């Protein structure tokens, strides 16, 4: 597995995978594509948000958008692994890579109805061997969300 930061040279790869993510979530969010057949994005890579692409055998199989709140406080804003490689541990490995390389306080939110995502994040954090707290709260953008918070510093 190789993880790279999104730059202009690989932005198209990131955006292409992000469309798959948006399409998959549309069953929950109710979003439909615009007139060009593309989904509008919820998180753009600007200011304090950066993107990562996960490659396996030189193929892009996942993306993440990370919001950096402070030097040691982060949030997973978007996270996607293509369905054909799920259940093989790659998503957990990708998440663990992120937490090892960006150590500090983390928060992750899942929108109501994204039950598989909640199960995934619980498993990923537990296998990272970090205690975490979880609660349900009202997000100003998403409405009801499940949120996990933990510290990735080892």
Give the pLDDT score at 22. 96
Using the Cα atoms of residue 104, residue 151, residue 56 and residue 115 in order, give the sign of their dihedral. Answer: negative
Give the pLDDT score at 6. 98
Give the pLDDT score at 145. 98
| Cα 140 → chain centroid | 19
pTM to 2 decimal places = 0.95
Residue appearing with tokens 């993880």? 3
DSSP states of 50-96 as a string? EEEEEEETTEEEEEEEEEEEETTEEEEEEEEE-GGGTTTTHHHHHHH
Give the pLDDT score at 40. 94
Tokens of 8: 């202009």
DSSP states of 93-133 as a string? HHHHHHHHHS-SEEEEEEETT-HHHHHHHHHHHHHTT--EE
Give the pLDDT score at 86. 93
pLDDT in tens, the chain (154 residues): 999 999 999 999 999 999 999 999 999 999 999 999 999 998 999 999 999 999 999 999 999 999 999 999 999 999 999 999 998 999 999 999 999 999 999 999 999 999 999 999 999 999 999 999 999 999 999 999 999 999 999 7
Residue 74: other Cβ atoms inside 10 A: 23
């Amino acid at each position: 597995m190789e993880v790279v930061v999104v730059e202009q040279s690989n932005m198209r790869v990131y955006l292409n995978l992000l469309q798959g993510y948006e399409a998959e979530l549309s069953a929950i969010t109710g979003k439909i594509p615009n007139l060009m057949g593309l989904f509008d994005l919820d998180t753009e890579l600007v200011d304090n948000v950066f993107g990562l692409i996960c490659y396996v055998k030189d193929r892009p199989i996942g993306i993440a958008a990370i919001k950096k709140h402070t030097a040691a406080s982060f949030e997973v804003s978007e996270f996607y692994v293509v369905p054909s490689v799920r259940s093989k541990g790659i998503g957990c490995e990708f998440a663990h890579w992120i937490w090892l390389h960006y150590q500090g306080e983390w928060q992750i939110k899942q929108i109501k109805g994204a039950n598989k995502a909640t199960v995934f994040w619980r498993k990923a954090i537990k296998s990272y061997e970090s205690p975490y707290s979880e609660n349900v709260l009202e997000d100003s953008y998403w409405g009801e969300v499940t949120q996990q918070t933990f510290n990735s510093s080892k």
